[in-house]
Amino acid sequence: MLTINDINVYYGNIHALKGVSLEINQGEIVTLIGANGAGKSTLLKTISGLLKPKNGEILFEGKPIGGKVAQSIVKMGLSHVPEGRRVFANMSVEENLELGAYLRNDKQGIREDFDKVYQLFPRLHERRKQLSGTLSGGEQQMLAMGRALMARPKLLLLDEPSMGLAPLLVKTIFNIIEEINKTGTTILLIEQNANMALSIADRAYVIETGKIVASGSAEELTASDQIKSAYLGGH
């Protein structure tokens, strides 16, 4: 579904991604783990069109998207839930969700997706008339995910969905990510909580200082001593 070949991305003089290659097959949950500043968010922003690669190629369902504008990438079926949630604070929950569907005009489908989002996130239904800025961190994360789903993505990019959430809520969010995947949405997940991410992922990549240094099935990486000591708090 997504193929990235040897992309390089710069912030000014900083070489943020160095020859990164990876692939995601339809129906998978793939996680990207790495320390802060390793290039994880940069990679998601490059895939979703917020940053342009200097070279290399990004193919989504076989079509090149590297350097395309973000809006046309969303239209092709790729949604990005950014780090830090970024909900529109002075708009209601319902208005935020409507914005997620702004490129669509299939009224019936949009109504069905509202229902689906409210089924996945009953709390959002309870708070649908409330201003988003008054929601808790966990509720805002649910809203950011719900808003992305309103675009009916084939591939969902999630950047640090558990950041700043209480452990119980983290579990809830991860259960919902699995639920979303079961309905047929492919997922690329970036997550500080590597244990949690590997527990739901099919495959994983490890990124260090802008380079992919390891990849394999989630089980292989969970069992690797090197990964354990670096990312999983083991020895």
Whether the per-residue pLDDT at 112 is higher than 90: the answer is yes
Check which CATH number belongs to the domain holding 33 and give it.
Answer: 3.40.50.300
pLDDT of residue 104: 86
Give bridge partners of residue 131 from the DSSP assignment: 92
Q: Among 15, 17, 68, which Cα is nearest to 42's?
A: 17
- Give the span between the Cα atoms of 81 and 157, in whole angstroms: 6
- Provide the pLDDT for residue 73: 94
Q: What is the structure's pLDDT at 234? A: 60
In a domain, 112, yes or no: no
Q: What is the mean pLDDT of the chain?
A: 93
Residue 96 in domain: no
**pLDDT value, residue 168:** 86
Residue 162 lies in a domain: yes
- Average pLDDT score over residue span 17-30: 97
Q: How many domains does the chain have?
A: 1
Alpha helices, H only, the chain: 40-47, 70-76, 93-100, 107-120, 122-126, 137-149, 167-182, 194-200, 218-223, 225-231
Assess if residue 129 is contained within a domain. Answer: no
Range of the structural domain that residue 218 is part of: 2-86+153-231
In this model, does residue 220 exceed pLDDT 50? yes
Residue 113, domain member (yes or no):
no
Give domain status of residue 73, yes or no. Answer: yes
135, pLDDT greater than 80: yes
- Give the tens place of pLDDT for each residue, 34-66: 988 899 999 999 999 999 999 999 999 999 999
Q: Are strands 186-190 and 63-64 parallel, antiparallel or unpaired?
A: unpaired
How does pLDDT run across 144-202, given as a tens digit for each residue? Answer: 999 999 999 999 999 999 988 888 889 999 999 999 999 999 999 998 889 999 999 99
Give the model's confidence band at 228: pLDDT under 50 very low, under 70 low, under 90 confident, else very high.
confident
Question: How much is the pLDDT for 157?
Answer: 96
Return the pLDDT at 235: 47
| Residue 137 reports pLDDT greater than 80 | yes
Average pLDDT over residues 101-108: 89
Pairing relationship of beta strands 29-33 and 203-208 according to DSSP bridges: parallel
Query: Above 80 in pLDDT, residue 126?
Result: yes
Assigned domain for 211 exists: yes
Token pair of 10, please? 């710069």
